[in-house]
Structure 1
Amino acid sequence: MTKFMNEDFLLESKSANILFHTFAKNVPIFDYHCHLDPKEIYEDKHFEDLAELWLGGDHYKWRLMRANGTAEKFITGEGSGYEKFRAFASCMPYAMGNPLYHWSHLELQRYFNIEETLSEKTAKDIWNKANARIKQPNFSARQLIKDSNVHALCTTDDPADSLEYHLKLKNDTSFKTKVLPAMRPDKALDITSEGFIDYMNLLADVANMPISNFEELCIALKQRIAFFHEVGCKASDHGFTDLPYEAYTKDEIETIFKKAMKGSKLTQKEVDQYKTALLIFLGSEYKKKNWVMELHISALRNNSTRSLLKVGINAGFDSIHDADMAVNLSKLLDHLEKQGDLPKTILFTMNPKDNWVIASMAGNFQSDEAISKMQFGTAWWMQDHRDGMQEHMKCFANSGLLGRFIGMLTDSRSFVSYTRHEYFRRILCNLIGGWIENGEYADDLDEVGKIIEDICLNNARRYFEV
């Protein structure tokens, strides 16, 4: 019997073993989409205990605990740190086949040198060992990033953000990892939200100008894009349940915006027209700055009203949406391309039914402006597991150039989630190693090893120019 999660974990052939240990294992990480707090990085946050480090804000783990019948008190409520950790530990024996089983044990091994398997039976011992390590002076946010060999990371930031801590980190020569902002203007796009008018007022204050019409909104956002660019921003990020596209005129958009600012109800067509117009404007501005536009599509959010009211957003009550996207995605990309304004774009979907839609759509809009300018983004969220990654990469390979793939990201709020890059790299090496063993791909390991290194880091560095 093979030892549990040994050094050759997930590597099923000699070629896979060589590709991972010789080429992939020690390549630095570029985590180009995450939700870390730049303030915590700048202030070099220390953690109270394993519950804060491991369970705070981790909705993946919260969903698992709810599935095990855990009371909310011991998930997001007033339970003690140890009570919450023990509740999570009690889930583990039942989580076979779930990526959290592997992620959690990789994190215990890599950050705490703990080889024991996690369960309610071992919870107290692991809690004590891990907390002893956490209490050491050098166990901190910056040290975790350094120990994880992170070359650069991109956070997720609202256009109205001051980027105070990005600026401080940019000027801090003692910390070598690049911490770059990435703009997420979802609040500007979400014209039907209850807070839309308040957000417009906030954005106006930050931009130091009035926003009374759509044209002024675009001027304010252009100003914020310029500021983000000065701080080092290389990317934007957009989240859509349904990707919009609806033809519009300039006059129609001005009318729609003024209606929204009066609090008047909009039709669905008007909402889609507004979102389309603003997204076209933003895409054109991204192109001018040579930014990457990331589109995350098909997340159906806040499904449980009861839980939303009790716990709040981003707490594990989101799932896969199943609406069609091909026609609107085609029209959006074509609109931008016809204007000469289509930026480098990464297309993500949470729904595996859309893998081939996105992979084939990306091929329609490639150009010599960048190598694989249009990217089919890595297996995301509900697809972020072994099966999802394998199917994503097979789809990518069948429809394009897998060797030009920009690789993995964590999309995480955790400072110990970088083991997900290792998990991805093992799966990548096993997939390609298997093709080599089966005679489906040339066995020049030096050449393919370079390609592995490119997928793990170099392709993304070139793509984002970081």
Structure 2
Amino acid sequence: MNFSNRKGFMDEDFLLEGEFAKKLYHDFAKHQPIIDYHNHLPPDDILQDRLFENISQIWLSGDHYKWRAMRTLGIQEKYITGDATDAEKFEKWAFTVPYTLRNPLYHWTHLELRRYYGIKDLLNPENAQNIYRTTSEMTNSPEFSTQSLLRKMNVEVICTTDDPADDLSAHRQFQNTTSTLRMFPAFRPDKAFSIEQTAYTNYITKLSQAAGFEIKNYDDLLQALQKRVDFFHLNNCRLADHGLESLLHFSRQVADPNVIFQKALSGKSATLEETAYFKFRTLLELCRMYHTKGWTQQFHLGALRNNNSRLFKKLGPDTGFDSIGDFGQADALSGFLNELDSTDQLGKTILYNLNPGDNEVFATMTGNFNDGSVKGKIQFGSGWWFLDQKDGMERQLNTLSNMGLISCFVGMLTDSRSFLSFPRHEYFRRILCNLFGRDMEKGQLPTDEKWVGKIIGDICYHNAKNYFNFPS
């Protein structure tokens, strides 16, 4: 067999299939700064410029993508979330990696080893101990502090995910540092309307303390949330985020929301319809608050969470037992957005879809509520969670191209809990440039590198920079 034209694995033109794709990436995308407007990184770790003791602590802790793969391979929980040593956990991950071929973890793992540590070897059991030793020595040096890692990836802005009851002390202290990195909070109020949760009354106590008064009724709840929105805004928050199975909409009043709220406070269970109505009403009021502040609201829709009740009880949420859900999205999504738009209180909105079967629904829904007031006011967000891999990204980009204006797209985010996840922006940019470059090669787009390159630069950086009202 003739291998003379074979590409090397993950060379400088990784994922770039033609000369136009290479040109677009290397000249217009590669060096753009990163605005990571949604992730789950701990703000305290950024403020303190934390150093990790070894690569396992920074790479494997909290990464449920890796945990799912290890469980699938038959690795015991001891080596995943259990009491095994960090070195033992790394060795089990190294054992797993060769079996992740064609899973995005294989690409992400080796991109991260290369971009942060300069290691081009393929991780496997034979070199695990040596790589663990080498990377852990590097990890525990100042060049691998949290802020240094973000600077290394050219991160300009980072938005964390924060509960309304948070005091934002890390953000407030960070604003007084000399760091060139900009860190902003994002408002995540899901717990405030999740009355079906057993710990709801405990949460209301916590929110009361943050608001400075006791929340006794539904009007108090809305007042407390308004106070926290005001507080977050004063501390440079400009985004809100929500994780829901689907948006909800009711054209009639099911019950007095205060009656439903009082049920929850007394420990009584509301009906499914009452619970859904309470969420709808509260979220609607929150979105009106966001609109007044000029915030962007994000909706992550379509996840079926905590499927494994046995292991959820043992390990808790966000440990790798969620999946794509199959929910009806269109009617309620349309109704909810229209409810806000009918009073001209629909702010900038990003809709993230987890079920690829709903891509066209989401992409066409955005066009219903773009009104010319803001470029790309309603966004079909990037491939999310199970879809932030090559096929998922391409499908999202192609759907957006076919049914909207990809030129207005605000681009990629990590949605990650790992400080080593930022090469995912590179991964996205390479995929994006390859799509455009391939169309140029085929004569389906003009070979105007300057103009197409401008569109690429906008998607990678400039659209996000202009879309979000971050304080200067």
Query: TM-score range, shorter-chain basis?
Result: over 0.9
Give SS of 1:183's match. Answer: coil
**Counterpart Cα distance in 1 of 2:310 and 2:290:** 38
CA-to-partner distance for each residue in 1:215-259, whole Å, 9 max, x for gaps? 111111011001100111010000012322224549711221122
**Counterpart Cα distance in 2 of 1:124 and 1:104:** 16
- Residue number in structure 2 paired with 1:441: 445
**Counterpart Cα distance in 2 of 1:271 and 1:394:** 37
CA-to-partner distance for each residue in 1:84-135, whole Å, 9 max, x for gaps? 1111111111111111100110000010000000111221121122112113
CA-to-partner distance for each residue in 1:297-336, whole Å, 9 max, x for gaps? 1111111111112211111011011011110101100001
Contact 2:254 2:273 in 1 (8 A): no
Give SS of 2:256's match. Answer: helix
CA-to-partner distance for each residue in 1:389-426, whole Å, 9 max, x for gaps? 00100000000100111000000011110000000000
Residue 454 of structure 1 pairs with residue 463 of structure 2:
no
- Residue number in structure 2 paired with 1:419: 423
What is the CA-CA distance between 1:138 and the residue it aligns to? 2.6
Give SS of 2:144's match. Answer: coil
**Counterpart Cα distance in 2 of 1:450 and 1:100:** 31
**Counterpart Cα distance in 2 of 1:203 and 1:68:** 42
Contact 2:370 2:378 in 1 (8 A): yes
Q: Give the counterpart of 2:124 among 97, 119, 127.
A: 119
- Residue number in structure 2 paired with 1:294: 298
- Residue number in structure 1 paired with 2:401: 397
- Residue number in structure 1 paired with 2:323: 319
What is the CA RMSD across the aligned residues, in angstroms?
1.1
Alignment of 1:104-143 (within 5 A): 104-143=109-148
What is the CA-CA distance between 1:46 and the residue it aligns to? 0.3
**Counterpart Cα distance in 1 of 2:230 and 2:406:** 33
- Residue number in structure 2 paired with 1:70: 75
Contact 1:247 1:273 in 2 (8 A): no
- 4+ aligned runs moved over 6 Å, structure 1: none
What is the CA-CA distance between 1:264 and the residue it aligns to? 1.7
Contact 1:246 1:272 in 2 (8 A): no
- Residue number in structure 2 paired with 1:61: 66
CA-to-partner distance for each residue in 1:254-284, whole Å, 9 max, x for gaps? 2211222112221111111111111110111
Alignment of 1:371-390 (within 5 A): 371-390=375-394
**Counterpart Cα distance in 2 of 1:304 and 1:255:** 33
What is the CA-CA distance between 1:167 and the residue it aligns to? 0.3
- Residue number in structure 2 paired with 1:245: 249
Distance 1:99 1:393, change over 3 A: same
Alignment of 1:59-458 (within 5 A): 59-172=64-177, 174-249=178-253, 252-458=256-462
Contact 1:248 1:277 in 2 (8 A): no
- Residue number in structure 1 paired with 2:3: none
Contact 2:367 2:404 in 1 (8 A): yes
- Residue number in structure 1 paired with 2:11: 6
What is the CA-CA distance between 1:344 and the residue it aligns to? 0.5
**Counterpart Cα distance in 1 of 2:141 and 2:226:** 45
Contact 1:12 1:430 in 2 (8 A): yes
Contact 1:159 1:185 in 2 (8 A): yes
Contact 2:245 2:301 in 1 (8 A): yes
TM-score normalised by L of structure 2: 0.97
**Counterpart Cα distance in 2 of 1:270 and 1:137:** 53
Distance 1:128 1:186, change over 3 A: same
